[in-house]
Chain A
Amino acid sequence: MEALVKESKTSVSKKVMTGAEAVICSLLEEDVDTIFGYPGGAIMPIYDALYQYQDQINHVLVRHEQGATHAAQGYARVVSNKVGVVFATSGPGATNLITGIADAQIDSTPLVCITGQVPSALLGTDAFQETDVIGISMPVTKWNHQVSDAREIPEVLAKAFYIAKSGRPGPVLIDITKDAQFASLEFEYKKCQNIRTYHPRPVLNKERLKEAADLINKAQQPFLLLGQGVLLSHAQDTLRKFIEKADIPTAWTILGLSALDHDHPLNVGMLGMHGNYAPNVLTNECDLLIAVGMRFDDRVTGDLSRYATQAKVIHIEIDPSEIDKNVKTDVAVVADANEALEALIPLVKKAKHQEWRQKFADLHKIEEEKIIKKDLYPHEQGIKMGEVVRRISEQTKGEAIVVTDVGQHQMSSARYYNFKKSHSNVTSGGLGTMGFALPAAMGAKIGCPHREVVAIIGDGGFQMTLQELGTIYQYDIPVKVVILNNGFLGMVRQWQQLFFEKRYSFTEMKNPEFTTIARGFSIESEKITSRDQLDDAISAMLEHPGAYLLDVVVEKEENVFPMVPSGAAVSEIRME
C-alpha cells in the first residue's frame, strides 16, 4: 500500500506547462514549503507562475538577496533534511547571492538557488543585467548549471536537490534563461536517486573500523572532537552512546555546538581560538584524537606544525578530500558519521579514563577562576557579554535556537549558552560573515515556528543586514533580536589592542538609536544600560508574543578570553 502511494508521488502525469511553472511544480515535488527571494526582470515569469501557487508554497520577500541566502541557511540548519530555497533575478540579484552561497559552501549547508538569466540569444553580449553567474559562483557552489531549454527543468532541479542534500551538503545554483522560463514542456518529475559520476555515500570500510577500534581500545588518553558532520548525519545520540561506552572526553567546533548536551559530563567545551582552556591544552597531551565530521580548520588547530603531534589520529569524515588535508591521519574512516559510529560501538570496549578526565576538570577549574567567573559575575560596572548570554540561556532553559553573527558576541554566545537540544546553534563559522544572524534567525523561525529563536548580534553586524527588519515586520516573524552593543567592531578592536598596540584604526562606531529603528518597523524594543535591568528586560522580550529587539549596551572594551593568538600552538592559549 505504502509503496503504491510513493509510486504515484514520483510519477506525476504529464502536463504541458511553461518552464516557469515547471520550476514551481518541481519545488512542490521536492516538498519545498518556503522560498526566500526577490524578483526582477529576468525571473518575472517564475514569479508570475508562483502567483497561482501561493496557497501551496510560501514565498518570503526579503529586503536584500544576501538576506535570502542567509534566511535559507538558517532554515536549512534547523529543519531536518530540508534544503533552503532562494530565488533571485539576474545581474545584481545574482551577485548579491554570492556571499551567502560562499557561506553555505564552507559551512556545508544545503541550498538550491534559482536565478533568472537574460534570454539565451543575449547571453555573452553584456545585455542589461547580464552577469556570468555560472562563472562567478563556480568556486563557491557544490554544483551549478545553466538551463536554456525548458525541457531540462524538471531533471535539472531534481539533480539540484539531490546534490544539495546528499553526502556533504552544499549550495547548488541553477540559472534559467528567460526564454526557457517562457517556453513550454511536458512536465514529468522523477526524483533524482543517482548520478553516475557522483557517489555521496561512501561504503564503510570494515578494516579501517577495526583499526580505529583497536586504537581506541589501546588509548589511555583518548579525546574526541566533534564537528557539524555529527549534526548533518543526525549522529548526536549515537555519538553520545559511543563516548559513554569508551569514556571519551569530547570537545566541539563552533559548528558542532549543540550536538552534545552542555551538561553532559563528557562535554569538555569548545575547541580553537576562543574555545575553552582544557580542550585546547589537552589536545597536545592526548594519545588519541578522534575527529568526527570536522575539518581541522585553522581556527581550531592553531599552528599545525605543533598540533597534537604526540597523538595518533582517527578521522571519521564523509568527504575524502578532507582526509590528510590539514592533519595527517593514522586511520581514516571515510563514512557518514552516524553509520561509522554505530558500527564502532560494538567494537570498542567499555572503558574508564578517570585520571584523564580529571585533567580536564582541573584545567576547567583554572578557566573558571580566571575567566568564567569574571565574565558571568563581573565586579565592573559595565555589562559583560557573557552574563547577558548566560541570563538568556537560563531564561530559555537552554532550549532556544540561538543564531549568532560574527565577532566577540559570537564567541561569548558559544561559550555561555548552555545548549540542551541539538541543531540549535546557527552561526557563520567558516566564512565568518557579518550580517548573517538577522536573516538567518528569520529563516530558522520560519523553519521551526514552535521554537524560541534568539538572535545575538553585534552592533556592527546588525547594521550590515538590518533592512531585514522589514521582512520580519511584513511577515510577523516573532524572532528575538539581542544586540550586544559595544560601539565598536569589537573583535577587530580586541586584536588591535592585543596585537597592534591599541591603535584603534577605524573600529569605533557612532551608532543610531536601535530602538528608534525598531519602532520604524513597528517592532517592540527596549534599550538597557545597567545590570539590574537585565533579567526583567530579557523576560519582557521572551514574554512578548511578537518580534522584539533588545539593545544591551555592554562594556566598550571587553576582551574575549581565552585566546589562541594566530600562529600560536593550541596549548599556548592565553588567559589574558
Chain B
Amino acid sequence: MNQVKTKNNMEVPATDEVRSFILSILTENKSGLLNAVTIIFTRRKINIESINVSETEVEGVSRYTIVINTTRELAEKVVKRIRKLIDVFWAFVYENEEIFYQEIALYKVPTNVFLHGDNTEHLVRNNGARILVIEEDYIIIEKTGHQHETRDLLEKLKPYGVLEFVRSGRIAMSKSTRRTDTFLQELHNHQQ
C-alpha cells in the first residue's frame, strides 16, 4: 500500500490512493433528495458501489449509507458538497476500519442439491449462513457479512448451481456512543 508519514509519524495511506470509503449522511426524509445526492457523484465521475437509505431512531431523519471507491481527497470534496444540500443535516466520511458495517446476501440454489449429499448443508452451517426458505424447487440461503465473506460463499455455492444471488447495500454504524439526536442538536448549536 502506498503510505506516507504524517507529522506525528503515523503511517496513513496516501491521499491519492484509490480505496473504499463509506459515506454516512443524515437527511430529512424528503422525496427527490436521493437524486440530488447521487448527481454529486455523477459530476465527479465516481461510481456508487452500494447505497442504502433507511430511517434512523430519530423520527423524520433518514440515513444514507453510500460506498464509493475513490481517493481520500475526492471523498472529502464530495462530502463537503453533500453537506451543502439544503435538506442534509450532515455527512461523514469513513474508512472501513473506522466503522462497523455489514451487508446481507441472499442465494437461491436448486433444492435437489440439498437432497443429494450433505456438502451444501455443511457449507451453510460452516459459513455462518442460514436457510431462509425451502420451496419445492429451490432454497434461499441468507448470509450477513462483509463483501468478501458473502462473495466467498457465492464461490463455494457456484459448483452446485446458483440460480440467483443478490447483496444489499452496506449499512454501517460509527464507533461513537453519541446519540443521533444529540449530535443533531450539537450541530445546530455550533452552526447557528
Contact = CB atoms under 8 A, between A and B. Distances in A.
Nearest to A200: B191
Contacts of B192: 199, 201, 203
27 contacts: A134-B32, A138-B32, A138-B35, A142-B86, A143-B86, A146-B32, A163-B86, A195-B86, A196-B184, A197-B27, A198-B86, A199-B187, A199-B188, A199-B191, A201-B192, A202-B191, A203-B190, A203-B191, A203-B192, A319-B84, A320-B83, A320-B84, A321-B77, A321-B81, A321-B84, A324-B77, A325-B77
Interface string A196-223: 1111011100000000000000000000
Contacts of A92: none
A197 B89 contact: yes
A197 B191 contact: no
Interface residues of A, number: 22
A195 B87 CA distance: 9
Given A197-B28, A202-B191, A321 B35 contact: no
A520 interface: no
B88 interface: yes
Interface in A139-173: 139, 142-143, 146, 163
Contacts of A196: 89, 184, 188
Interface of B: 27-28, 32, 35-36, 39, 43, 76-77, 80-81, 83-84, 86-89, 184, 187-188, 190-192
Contacts of B76: 324
A135 interface: yes
Contacts, number: 47
A197 B88 contact: yes
A321 B80 contact: yes
Interface of A: 134-135, 138-139, 142-143, 146, 163, 195-199, 201-203, 319-321, 323-325
A102 to B, nearest CB: 13
A160 to B, nearest CB: 10
Contacts of B77: 321, 324-325
Nearest to A146: B32
B36 A138 contact: yes
Given A143-B86, A197-B28, A321-B84, 11 more contacts: A134-B32, A138-B32, A138-B35, A139-B39, A196-B184, A197-B89, A198-B86, A199-B191, A201-B192, A202-B191, A320-B80
Contacts of B36: 138
A197 B81 contact: no
Give 5 nearest A-B pairs by CB, closest first. Answer: A199-B191, A321-B80, A143-B86, A197-B89, A198-B86
A201 B192 CA distance: 7
Contacts of B43: 139
A202 B81 CA distance: 16
A203 B191 CA distance: 6
A325 B86 CA distance: 20
A574 B18 CA distance: 38
Contacts of B28: 197
A135 B32 CA distance: 8
Nearest to A142: B86
A139 B43 CA distance: 9
Nearest to B76: A324
B39 A197 contact: no
Given A202-B191, A203-B190, A325-B77, A138 B39 contact: yes
Contacts of B184: 196
A299 B188 CA distance: 36
Nearest to A163: B86
Contacts of B83: 320-321
Contacts of B88: 197
Contacts of A142: 86
Nearest to A320: B80
A197 B190 contact: no
Contacts of A146: 32
A128 to B, nearest CB: 23
A330 to B, nearest CB: 14
Contacts of B81: 321
Contacts of B35: 135, 138
Nearest to B90: A197
